[in-house]
Structure 1
Amino acid sequence: MIKDRIAILDFGSQYTQLIARRIRELGVYSEIFSYKIAPEELLRWGARGVVLSGGPESVFGVGSPVMDSRILDLGLPVLGICYGLHLLVHLRGGRVRPSGRREYGYGEFIQDGESLLFSGLPSQFGVWNSHGDRVEELPAGFRRIGFTKDEPNAAIAWEQERLYGVQFHPEVSHTELGKEIFANFLFRICGVRPTWTLANFVEETLETIRREVGTKKVLMALSGGVDSSVCALLLHRAIGSQLCCVFVDTGLLRKGEKELVERVFSQDLGIRLRVVDAGARFLRRLRGVADPEKKRKIIGRTFISVFREVAREVGNVGFLAQGTLYPDVIESGKVPHPAHVIKSHHNVGGLPQKMGFRLLEPLRNLFKDEVRQLGKELGLPPSLLYRHPFPGPGLAVRCLAPVTPSNLETLRQADAVLLEEMERSGWMERVWQAFAVLLPVRAVGVMGDQRSYGLTVAIRVVQSQDGMTADWVDLPKELLNRIAQRIVAEVPEISRVTYDITSKPPGTIEWQ
């Protein structure tokens, strides 16, 4: 069991997940919890320190999120960030007020005296701010340990009680020494050790899987993507022949998807694989459905119906395993805090209440880049390890036009052209994800001196670290031109190609 753990209480910041990532990057395990968590639960979980995230509210606003103040009396070190700082001050009897000037973006932070939090750091460095309130009066016991031009109490501390707060965001890359600040909090103040490694994760997870599964069999919902492939390898190592991987041909796959998965798992890895052709069933149930949430839920239910049928044939199946990741859980609003649902992932928010299986999700608390590292350790072939993410609902959530066999084939061909050109140009391995989206929009074109009236496809290429945030990629004009020319020339149903330049946020990576 991982003994050195840091709990993050979420107050709604867009950066909360980055806090977890930064702490894990330093070799310490962290998880995100609701600000409503009881002090006793934190102790039972084994927290060695607590980070209070930022958030969009004001501590003096009606209905603003407030944690149980007894958490500050547990004797655990606490670091409040932005809203977390304001809450720390508020709960300890200080005063927070609206700032006359909102501080947003880059600022110069200046230390004021010595503190363990900034030990070994220069007296002045750049930080990233995003706040409209300020600390006007410090609570008893606290002292100022840093300031900026517009914020006189940009960092505070009560060293004896190990309570700290910063107005800026050390978790974002724009703060120059954010990693060092977290390292000081973890190692100098909390006294934890960097024991979080993927090797330790594997050892602990294998033991947990064997203990939980017992003599039952496990069906693995294998999509051929990185997440489910790594999950399958992990399960195979844990329970061997008790695992039955099921690959469902939904009719919503990319070009060559089924053939690749069959070759890698059956031939290269020697893992038991069953392929089920259910394309007609999925397409029949999706007929006439445009709403993306309905699509995902229909697909989730249909997957379960297929797995139930396979389970009856296999016998003694007690679990359905999935490659669910932390971002999937967060975006579906299934984390243990009041997150807004951004979209329901078919393997999280799209599942029916009663399935007939217990869910087994050993990667549920990992981020995408951690899963890739794990896959490398487990020996997953590069052909799968470095594949771009592909949504479980497949092309159904990339086909905004009616989900019909002809539209899906049009999208499949356009997507294949894009990926081929990305691979050929060397850009494939330089980006996080590239894909085509078929729009329900027709546009006039000219082909062979004749008027055409075809469909529109959007190209989306983004760069990301863990899928929680993403920036659109500025591909070379020549490459974009070649992609567009080939799609229009080789896919006759398409007459226009557009390029999506929306980052996440405000957009999501997938269109639906």
Structure 2
Amino acid sequence: MDGQLHVDRPQIAILDFGSQYSHLIARRVRELHVFCELYSCLVKGEVLRKNQVVGIILSGGPNSVYAKDSPHVDKDVWQYVAEKQIPVMGICYGLQEMSHTFGANVAPGDKREFGKAMVRRAPGHEEDADILFKGLPAEFQVWMSHGDKLHTLPEGFINIGVSPNSEHAAIAHLEKKMFGLQFHPEVTHSVGGLTILRNFVVGVVGAPTDWDMADIAQEFIEAVREKVGPTGKVVGAVSGGVDSSVAAVLLNKAIGSRFHAVMVDSGCLRQDEGAQCVERLKNRLGINLHLVQAQDRFLDKLAGVSDPEAKRKIIGNTFIEVFDEESHRIGECDFLLQGTLYPDVIESISYKGPSATIKSHHNVGGLPERMKLQLIEPLRELFKDEVRALGMALGLDEESVWRHPFPGPGLAIRIIGDVTREKLDILRQADVILLDELHKHGIYREIAQAFCVLTNCKSVGVMGDGRTYEFLCGIRLVSSTDYMTADWYRIDWEILARISTRIINEVQGINRCAYDCSSKPPATIEWE
């Protein structure tokens, strides 16, 4: 059993050729309230035939279609497209793949085209171009990223868009409802890109715009009930984060007390986090939640350990031990709840995705084989913002739904060097002040992730008439939509000054603050 709650509804199938932007195509289509799924570009026609595919998008990719080992769409997929008259749109490599398949000449261009470019409707085909470009000005900005280009048109296709370097920047076969774009409408640099996708997905394909969490929450509940059955029991770890909280609420509404939620307090949680999670999930929402107090067990094992990877492994292995013990205490369960999200699935099924990644999404980081539990992954089809929308539809409070991501190892990897109870207390106090000020100034939800780091560095300070020698506290605020890339948040300096002043004055053990203004890449969001 694969753990997925299969969604049986009309879908846009996105065939991934290894583009770094493939997940963005899926993201943009979902923004249109249209359900879509990402498949490897090597998917067999028989797989698509089993689903309600109403339209297909071919992604970009790093290869050249004429190269010997380049990936190509399965012939049976093209046969399926012809039989069902399914509209197709190719993006960048996808345009070249479609054109190459239908006999056009794809070859290197005179120069590589990368970055912003201006596209306009092809002369003589302005009205035809409106099938994709309706609602856009005569000339609009797009994002190009290609070295090869289309030198001739496939039979039956016409030009509908041109750019200074691409005479075939957009093409169309109106009868077959096939379209190609040399540029990337899915990235934000393509002004009007979402309009183009809407014109194809909703206008040409006619895909239903009913992918709305408020309307389909009950469908998810019914799917869980069907999968678990009338007597099945589910055990799952809850961290207090949005993903596990939404999954817990969903399971509770579906099967009630037959869902056993376990939260493990490793001693590395934020201030009062365990008690707050119990209050929100158990006391307010009635979830069958047990909080395991295991602080001493974790912190004793972490004593003297400074290497971040060693800290992660210790915490991960100890969590497995505690969770396994709790599972035995609960008794026989049939399913294991896992909070896999769609970005995890995308990483696994991508044309370039390693098989090792697939396994890592299906064993919860190494739970013992002897547990013999079948997986249940109710959020597997969803992006992070869709999980939040589902949480709101299920009645979860805004505090839980909009909580920033928190790493599994917790504060242990926000303390540089060894982890002690004293350092944890210092960091918790600083963290409370930071989040309090962000909420007070109404900017918490503008920020993707916010936290303090207790560095392993001490500096000289002066407080009153006395000398201090205390820790440097790093402050990290980032903006991001997908957490694959992130930029440092441009906070108002007066707010930052208030945060710094409060931390230094109120937290004994810190006498200096520094603001982290590095982006990802080259830095990571977390320091360890």
Question: 362, 376, 379: which one pairs with 1:360?
Answer: 376
Aligned to 1:268: 284
Does structure 1 retain, via aligned residues, the 8 Å contact 2:341–2:380? yes
Distance 1:510 1:34 in 2: 31
1:41 paired with 2:55, answer no
Aligned-partner SS, 1:45: coil
Deviations 1:285-307 (CA, angstroms, capped at 9, x unpaired): 44566665565455444333322
Give the conservation status (yes or no) of the 8 Å contact 1:77–1:161. Answer: yes
Percent of aligned pairs with the same residue? Answer: 47
| 1:153 alignment partner, one of 168, 171, 176 | 168
5 Å-filtered alignment, 1:395-410, equals 395-410=411-426
Q: Is the 8 A contact 1:96 1:134 kept in 2?
A: yes
Alpha carbons 1:444, 1:453 under 8 Å: kept: yes
Partner of 2:192: 177
Match of 2:156 among 137, 141, 148: 141
How far apart in 1 are the matches of 2:523 and 2:90? 28
Matched, 1:19 2:25: yes
Q: Does residue 165 in structure 1 map to residue 171 in structure 2?
A: no
Structure 2 residue matching 1:311: 3-state secondary structure: helix
Contact 2:305–2:417, Cα closer than 8 Å, also in 1: no
C-alpha separation in 2, matches of 1:247 and 1:240: 17
Q: 24-33 or 313-322: which moved more?
A: 313-322
Residue identity in the other structure for 2:234: V
Secondary structure, aligned partner of 2:385: helix
How far the C-alpha of 1:453 sits from its partner, in A, is 5.0
Distance 1:23 1:227 in 2: 22
* Partner residue in 1 for 2:501: 485
Aligned CA distance change for structure 1 residues 108 and 430 (closer, same or farther; 3 Å):
same
**Counterpart of 2:404 in 1: which secondary structure?**
coil
Correspondence for 1:104: 114
Partner of 1:458: 474
The corresponding residue for 1:319 is 335
4+ runs deviating over 6 angstroms: 340-349
Distance 1:178 1:2 in 2: 28
Task: Provide Cα deviations, 1:177-234, integer angstroms capped at 9, x if missing partner.
Answer: 2222112222333232223221453232212211221212112311112211111111
Equivalent in the alignment of 2:78? 72
Query: Which secondary structure state, in structure 2, belongs to the residue aligned with residue 262 of structure 1?
Result: helix
Q: CA shift at 1:7, angstroms?
A: 1.4
Task: Give the match for residue 432 of structure 1.
Answer: 448
Q: TM-score, normalised by structure 1?
A: 0.90
1:351 aligns with 2:357: no
Alignment-derived partner of residue 95 in structure 1: 105
Does 2:433 match 1:417? Answer: yes
In structure 1, the gaps of 5 or more residues are none
- Between 224-233 and 159-168, report the one with greater CA deviation: 159-168
Instruction: Work out whether 1:83 is the aligned partner of 2:87.
Output: no
Cα 1:129–1:196 shift into 2, 3 Å? same
Using the alignment, how far apart are the partners of 1:504 and 1:23 within structure 2? Answer: 25
Q: Single out whichever of 67-76 and 3-12 deviates more from structure 2.
A: 67-76
**Match for 1:103: what amino acid?**
E
Question: Could you tell me how far apart the structure 1 residues matched to 2:186 and 2:172 are?
Answer: 19
Aligned CA distance change for structure 1 residues 167 and 218 (closer, same or farther; 3 Å): same
Report 1:384-399 matches (<5 A): 384-399=400-415
CA distance in 2: counterparts of 1:31 and 1:294, whole angstroms: 37
> In the alignment, is the contact (CA less than 8 A) between 1:297 and 1:351 conserved in 2?
no
Deviation sequence 1:27-84 (CA, Å, 0-9, x none): 2111222222222112223322221222334334564444434423321322111122
Asked if the contact 1:300–1:346 (Cα under 8 Å) also holds between the matched residues in 2, the reply is no
- 1-side partners of 2:309 and 2:40: how far apart? 25
Measured in 2, the distance between the counterparts of 1:413 and 1:80 equals: 52
Count of residues in correspondence between the two structures: 509
Does structure 1 retain, via aligned residues, the 8 Å contact 2:217–2:394?
Answer: no
Are the aligned partners of 2:348 and 2:357 in contact in 1 as well (CA < 8 Å)? no
User: Does 1:204 pair with 2:204?
Assistant: no
Secondary structure of 2:207's partner?
coil
Cα contact 1:96–1:135 (8 A) shared by 2: yes
2:232 pairs with 1:226: no
Which residue of structure 2 aligns with residue 339 of structure 1? 353
* More displaced stretch, 79-88 vs 396-405: 396-405
Which amino acid letter does the alignment assign opposite residue 88 of structure 2?
A: V
In 2, the alpha carbon distance for the partners of 1:111 and 1:7 equals: 27
Bigger mean CA deviation after superposition, 257-266 or 92-101: 92-101
CA shift for structure 1 position 24: 1.1
Larger CA deviation: 91-100 vs 61-70: 61-70
CA distance in 1, matches of 2:361, 2:509: 29
Q: Provide the rounded CA distance (Å) in 2 between the counterparts of 1:290 and 1:141.
A: 65
Structure-2 residue corresponding to 1:59: 65
Query: Which residue of the partner structure matches residue 4 of structure 2?
Result: none
1:407/1:359 CA distance change after superposition, 3 Å = farther
Judge conservation of contact 2:459–2:472 (CA < 8 Å) in 1.
no
Question: TM-score, with normalisation over the residues of structure 2?
Answer: 0.87
Give the counterpart letter for 2:206 in structure 1: G
Identify unmatched segments of 5+ residues in structure 2.
Answer: 1-6
Cα pair 1:388 1:434 within 8 Å, conserved: yes
Choose between structure 1 and 2 for higher RCO, CA contacts under 8 A separated by at least 6 residues: 2
